[in-house]
């Protein structure tokens, strides 16, 4: 495994634990060259799931797109990177356990919004505003009103 900081391939595993209901192994590694630590994930290789876009195109599922979207929604919020990684792992596990070959962007977006609602309400609203393409304040209020009614 190459260090993402110095690109050396000499490291040692500092911690190893199961995550994602045992489907993934999370390893904390320490680079023997620069001494910095980084995390890697190991999982069984499966057939790739394709994501069906709104226009009908099909692209390979990319967990980093979900990670980056959630990271952006959680910007300046008290949400740790570990919690974001766990949320993405939960979403990915749900996709692989419920869909065989294809999943629509709508289904992926619904999963992300469901998980983000549990993680951070502000991040949820930020993500929903981009995902649902709010056109005006009324759309925004319609999305937030059910959350306010529950409180």
| Residues 63, 67, 73: CA angle, nearest 5 degrees | 145
Q: Are residues 19 and 86 in the same domain?
A: no
Looking at the chain, the number of H-run helices and the number of E-run strands are 5, 6
- Return the pLDDT at 22: 76
Query: How confident is the model at residue 151, as a pLDDT?
Result: 65
> Is 97 inside any structural domain?
yes
The span from the CA of 150 to the CA of 86, in Å, is 26
- What is d(CA 69, CA 64) in angstroms, rounded to the nearest whole number? 8
pLDDT in tens, 88-103: 999 998 998 898 899 9
Nearest-angstrom CA–CA distance, 142 and 138: 6
pLDDT for res 30: 97
Domain residues for 21?
Answer: 8-45
Tell me how long the chain is: 151
Residue corresponding to tokens 């999982």: 43
Cβ neighbours of residue 40 closer than 8 Å, sequence gap 6 or more: 1, 26, 27, 29
* Of the candidates 66, 75, 121, the residue with the CA atom closest to the CA atom of residue 96: 66
Could you report how far apart the first and last alpha carbons of the chain are, in Å?
47
Q: Is pLDDT of 20 > 70? A: no
Confidence at residue 141, expressed as pLDDT on a 0 to 100 scale: 75
Name the residue with higher pLDDT: 16 or 139: 16
Q: In terms of domains, do 53 and 118 share one? A: yes
pTM over 0.75: no
Q: Are residues 27 and 70 in the same domain?
A: no
Residue 3 lies in a domain: no
Residues 121 and 142 in one domain: yes
């Amino acid at each position: 495994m190459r260090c993402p900081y110095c690109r050396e391939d000499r490291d040692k595993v500092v911690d190893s634990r199961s995550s994602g209901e045992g489907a993934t192994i999370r390893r904390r590694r320490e680079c023997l060259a620069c001494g910095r630590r980084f995390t890697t994930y190991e999982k069984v290789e499966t057939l790739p799931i394709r994501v069906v876009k709104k226009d009908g195109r099909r692209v390979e599922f990319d967990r980093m797109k979900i990670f980056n979207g959630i990271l952006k929604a959680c910007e300046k919020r008290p949400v740790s990177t570990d919690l974001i990684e766990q949320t993405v792992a939960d979403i990915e596990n749900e996709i692989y356990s419920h869909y065989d070959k294809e999943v629509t962007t709508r289904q992926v977006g619904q999963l992300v919004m469901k998980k983000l609602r549990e993680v951070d309400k502000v991040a949820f609203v930020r993500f929903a505003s981009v995902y649902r393409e709010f056109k005006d304040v009324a759309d925004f209020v319609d999305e937030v009103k059910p959350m306010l009614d529950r409180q």
